[in-house]
Amino acid sequence: MKLEGFNPPFTKIAPYYDRLMSFVNYRSWVNHIERIIMMHNIKEKILLDIACGTGVCLELWLEKGYRVIGLDASESMLDVCRKRFSQNLLNNGRVKLIQQDMRNFSLDEQVPVATCLYDSLNYLLTSEELLNCFKSVYLNLKDGGIFVFDMNTRHALEVEWGNQRFERRDGPIHSIWDNTFEPVTGISTLKLTLNVYQNGDIFTFKEIHQERAYPIDEIKKLLSQVGFEVNLYRHLTFNPASEFDTRIMGVARKI
Last residue of a domain, one of 177, 193, 211: 211
The residues, ordered by sequence, that sit 6+ positions from 239 with a Cβ below 8 Å of its Cβ are: 233
Query: Do 90 and 182 fall within a single domain?
Result: no
104: containing domain:
14-152+215-254
Q: What is the DSSP letter of 176?
A: E
How far the first Cα of the chain sits from its last, in Å, is 37
Distance from C-alpha of 236 to C-alpha of 230, rounded to nearest angstrom: 16
Average pLDDT, integer, range 42-46: 98
- SS3 for 211-244, per residue? EECCCHHHHHHHHHHHCEEEEEEECCCCCECCCC
Query: Do 137 and 184 fall within a single domain?
Result: no
Q: Closest by alpha carbon to 203, among 178, 179, 174, 177?
A: 174
In a domain, residue 53? The reply is yes
In a domain, residue 8? The reply is no
Query: Do 121 and 41 fall within a single domain?
Result: yes
Query: Do 85 and 165 fall within a single domain?
Result: no
Query: Do 32 and 81 fall within a single domain?
Result: yes
Q: Rounded mean pLDDT of the chain? A: 97
**190-228 per-residue burial string, b: 16 or more CB within 10 A, e: under 16:** bbbbbebeeeeeeeebbbbbebbbbebeebbebbeebeb
Query: Do 189 and 229 fall within a single domain?
Result: no
Q: What is the pLDDT of residue 47?
A: 98
Query: Do 178 and 230 fall within a single domain?
Result: no
Query: Do 58 and 83 fall within a single domain?
Result: yes
The residues, ordered by sequence, that sit 6+ positions from 246 with a Cβ below 8 Å of its Cβ are: 152, 153, 155, 156, 160, 235
Q: What is the pLDDT of residue 5?
A: 81
Q: What is the DSSP letter of 8?
A: P
In a domain, residue 223? The reply is yes
Query: Do 37 and 114 fall within a single domain?
Result: yes
C-alpha Rg value of the chain to the nearest Å: 18
Q: What is the DSSP letter of 2?
A: -
The residues, ordered by sequence, that sit 6+ positions from 221 with a Cβ below 8 Å of its Cβ are: none
In a domain, residue 77? The reply is yes
Number of structural domains in the chain:
2
Q: What is the CATH number of the domain that holds 185?
A: 2.20.25.110
pLDDT digits (tens, 9 = 90+) for 60-74: 999 999 999 999 999
pLDDT digits (tens, 9 = 90+) for 196-233: 999 999 999 999 999 999 999 999 999 999 999 999 99
Task: Say whether pLDDT at 1 is over 80.
Answer: no
Q: Closest by alpha carbon to 69, among 111, 40, 131, 20?
A: 111
Query: Do 138 and 241 fall within a single domain?
Result: yes
The model's pTM: 0.96
In a domain, residue 76? The reply is yes
pLDDT digits (tens, 9 = 90+) for 172-188: 999 999 999 999 999 99
CB-CB contact of 227 with 253 (8 Å): no
pLDDT digits (tens, 9 = 90+) for 158-167: 999 999 999 9
pLDDT digits (tens, 9 = 90+) for 85-141: 999 999 999 999 999 999 999 999 999 999 999 999 999 999 999 999 999 999 999
